[in-house]
Structure formats: C-alpha cells, structure tokens
A and B are shown apart, each in its own frame.
Chain A
Amino acid sequence: QTVVTQESSFSVSPGGTVTLTCGLSSDSVSTNFHPSWYQLTPGQAPRTLVYSTNIRSSGVPDRFSGSILGNKAALTITGAQADDESDYYCVLFLGSGIWVFGGGTKLTVL
C-alpha cells in the first residue's frame, strides 16, 4: 500500500521560513504525481494553496510556494505569519484516478 509521508509537526518563528515536505514510501515524488497542498481550518473546506507542484491557487499569497526538493514535494512558507498556524496536507496523484493524502503537518508559528 502506498503511503504518503509528511512531518507530523513543525515550528517556525514569525517572519521565518519553513519548508514542509511530502514523500512517498515506495518511490520518489516527481511532477508526474501532481502534488497539491491544502490548508485546513476547522469548519471550512480545504483551502488549496498550490497544485500541480508549483501553481499557486488564486488569492494565495506569494509567500507560499511549491517545488520538488530532492525526492519529495515541498511547500515553503517565506515570512510566516501568525495566521499561517494551521494543518497542512499534501496529496499525490497515483494514476488511474487514484489520489493519496499525506497524514498532515501541524504548523505552529511562535
């Protein structure tokens, strides 16, 4: 079974930079997996930050950026703000209509 891995938690100082990663248990992540990143706020539908590796969704501040770093997908937040404190999820496309989410990263800004 394919497992998508994310850091369980991360901490960043206000104004700092943090990179969250998204890996695969059995393969290297490439653009072919079309990684997307979501921010989850309680009571709201997932907010798309980045899709297909590095395309920022409409209205998302440019401090959020996506990339491939080594063998993982990455979400970098540059100049973190207090309201970036949230849960972040990546999802990978495995083909044949199948997607798999990572377990999520809880980001603390302090």
Chain B
Amino acid sequence: QVQLVQSGAEVKKPGASVKVSCKASGYTFTSYDINWVRQATGQGLEWMAWMTPNSGNTGYAQKFQGRVTMTRNTSISTAYMELSSLRSEDTAVYYCARYYGSGGIRWFDSWGQGTLVTVSS
C-alpha cells in the first residue's frame, strides 16, 4: 500500500534551517508529484510547495518563495523540504502529500504522518 513516512520532530533556533524528509513506498516514486502542507500552531492548513520527482521541477507558494526548497533522492524514493530563516511563526506540523492528477481528477491521495518543527530560542 502507498505510504509516506516522514522524519521525526525537530527543534530549531530562530534563523536556522530545517530539512524534513518524506520517504515513499508502495508505488513508483517518480510517477507522482509530492506536495508539502503545514499547519502552524493554532492556525489552518497552508499549502507550501510541489515537486515532480521525475524531473525535479518545483513550484512554491508566493509566501515561501526564497525560503523553501524541495529536493529529492530518487534512489531512495525520498523527497525533502528545507525551510530556511526560521522564525517562531514557522512552528508547525509539516505534512508531505502525494498528488494524484489524471482523468480530470486532482487531489492529495496519500499523506505523511506529519513532522512537528518547533522554532524556539
């Protein structure tokens, strides 16, 4: 079955960077885009970025442009999301999600379990 397993919780200081991983299994990693969504403490869901693992092409929400970078290692079926210049408002649970887009249907059909990133001095 399709599974996305994320790396563990992180605690970072303001100004630092964090890199969260998302390991895919149960399907061909390069056949589906990976997206990142976060839920900041007390806030709603926020879409951040997408990546096509086959090509490495990426797209980022305007809010995160210049601070977020998505990469991948296809040999181990893992996607990464790195967020830099962290501030307290970036304290959130970060989710990776597989994007399904075919036949007029588009949705996030599988989600990782979430990674809590805490930004604190």
Contact = CB atoms under 8 A, between A and B. Distances in A.
Please indicate whether A and B come from the same complex rather than being unrelated chains. Answer: yes
Given A1-B62, A97-B59, A102 B44 contact: yes
B101 to A, nearest CB: 9
B113 interface: yes
A104 B104 CA distance: 25
B62 A46 contact: no
Given A36-B108, A97-B59, A104-B44, 17 more contacts: A34-B107, A40-B39, A45-B111, A45-B114, A46-B37, A48-B107, A51-B109, A52-B106, A89-B44, A91-B45, A93-B106, A96-B59, A97-B33, A98-B47, A101-B47, A102-B44, A103-B44
Contact of A98 (B46, B59, B104, B109): B59
B112 A45 contact: yes
Which 4 pairs from chain A and chain B are nearest by CB?
A51-B107, A45-B111, A34-B106, A104-B44
Contacts of A98: 47, 50, 59, 61
> How large, as a class, is the contact surface on chain A?
20 to 34
Interface string A30-52: 00001010101000011010011
Interface in B39-58: 39, 44-47, 50
B95 interface: yes
B50 A97 contact: yes
A45 B45 contact: no
Contact of B111 (A46, A102, A104): A46
